[in-house]
Amino acid sequence: MQSLMQGKRGLVMGVANDHSIAWGIAKALAAHGAELAFTYQGEALGKRVKPLAETLGAKHVLPCDVEDIDSVDATFAALKDAWGKMDFLVHAIGFSDKNELKGRYADTTRANFSRTMVISCFSFTEVTKRAAELMPDGGSVVTLTFGGSTRVMPNYNVMGVAKAALEASVRYLAADYGRDGIRVNAISAGPVRTLAGAGIGDSRAMFAFQQKHSPLGRGVTLDELGGTALYLLSELSGGVTGETHFVDAGYNIISMPHPDALRA
């Protein structure tokens, strides 16, 4: 098992702290032999991310704000200089103004709609394109999405619309890059208590509801999300591309809560 990612190099974007989904993924990849580089958004987060990345032996820990295309280009130029080529990419980046992650979707402003789409959706296309240029031997790319993309989740609002577009991007990018041997997939994670997760209005109630009513009767762990990313980024999933893979304790299959759960 140790050899699953041996000799493979890749970039993990989206670690803010050790509660981040990207951190759970990074640990799983490193445990299976991958060499990792990381990006962080701004120096304040850099102070947290750099020591974490060091624990996994990362030599390249780079600032990157996806709103600033120059910093995206600088990140991939640095990786090209350091590595020449790469094998995988993790995109675990999302943002929307938390004032619009409550109330009605209809009240979303044009400015926040655009910003949310650029950071949470289009950045995936931009980084996949740049990573693909460094994948002459093929590769695998993963992003993170949420079930609020296809079903209405109170307060998720514009993020749900951005995640729907992100999932469509996964399919289009999978078609664009398939003949280059580059696979593109999304993990649709159940609720996890992270900085981004806490920004959603009434997030505690939403987390508790999903945990109570999912078939497994619980939430999901960073280790479980890491294990799924390991599968999608390794040869174990060699024939899989363009998929949105749920890791949500089965919540997405439920039509209505079990009557026993409603009575409890």
Task: Determine the Cα–Cα distance for residues 194 and 21; give it in Å rounded to an integer.
Answer: 8
Q: Is 66 annotated as a binding residue?
A: yes
Instruction: Pick from 25, 53, 86, 119 the residue near ligand NAD by CB under 6 A.
Output: 119
* 93 versus 134: smaller Cβ distance to ligand NAD: 93
Window 1-40: contact mask with ligand NAD (x via CB under 6 A):
-------------xxx---xxx------------------
Among the listed residues 8, 27, 40, 156, the single catalytic one is 156
Q: Is 69 annotated as a binding residue?
A: no
* 150 versus 178: smaller Cβ distance to ligand NAD: 150
**Residue at token pair 């044009």:** 110
Count the site residues for ligand NAD by CB under 6 A. 27
Minimum CB–partner distance for residue 117 and ligand NAD (Å): 12
For 90, the token pair is 């993790």
Residue 164 touching ligand NAD (CB under 6 A)? no
Catalytic, 156? Answer yes
User: For ligand NAD, which stretch binds (CB under 6 A), given 27-35, 77-85, 140-148, 174-182?
Assistant: 140-148
Residue 146 touching ligand NAD (CB under 6 A)? yes
* 31 versus 45: smaller Cβ distance to ligand NAD: 45
Q: Is 81 annotated as a binding residue?
A: no
**Sign, CA torsion 5/8/9/10:** negative
Site for ligand NAD in 56-115 (CB under 6 A): 64-67, 92-95
Contact 162, 116 (CB under 8 A): yes
Name residue 39's amino acid: T
Helix segments in the chain, DSSP class H: 21-31, 42-55, 69-83, 110-117, 123-132, 157-177, 195-198, 203-213, 222-233, 259-263
Residue 177 touching ligand NAD (CB under 6 A)? no
**Residue at token pair 């962080």:** 40
How far is Cα of residue 29 from the mean position of the Cα atoms in its chain?
14
**CB atoms inside a 10 Å sphere around CB 102:** 16
* Nearest Cα to Cα of residue 182 among 131, 226, 144: 131
N-terminal to C-terminal alpha carbon distance within the chain:
42
How far is Cα of residue 168 from the mean position of the Cα atoms in its chain?
15
For 208, the token pair is 């508790």
Q: Is 253 annotated as a binding residue?
A: no
Q: Which residues bind ligand NAD (CB under 6 A)?
A: 14-16, 20-22, 41, 45, 64-67, 92-95, 119, 144-146, 189, 191-192, 194-197
**Annotated binding-site ranges:** 14, 20-21, 41, 65-66, 93, 163, 192-196
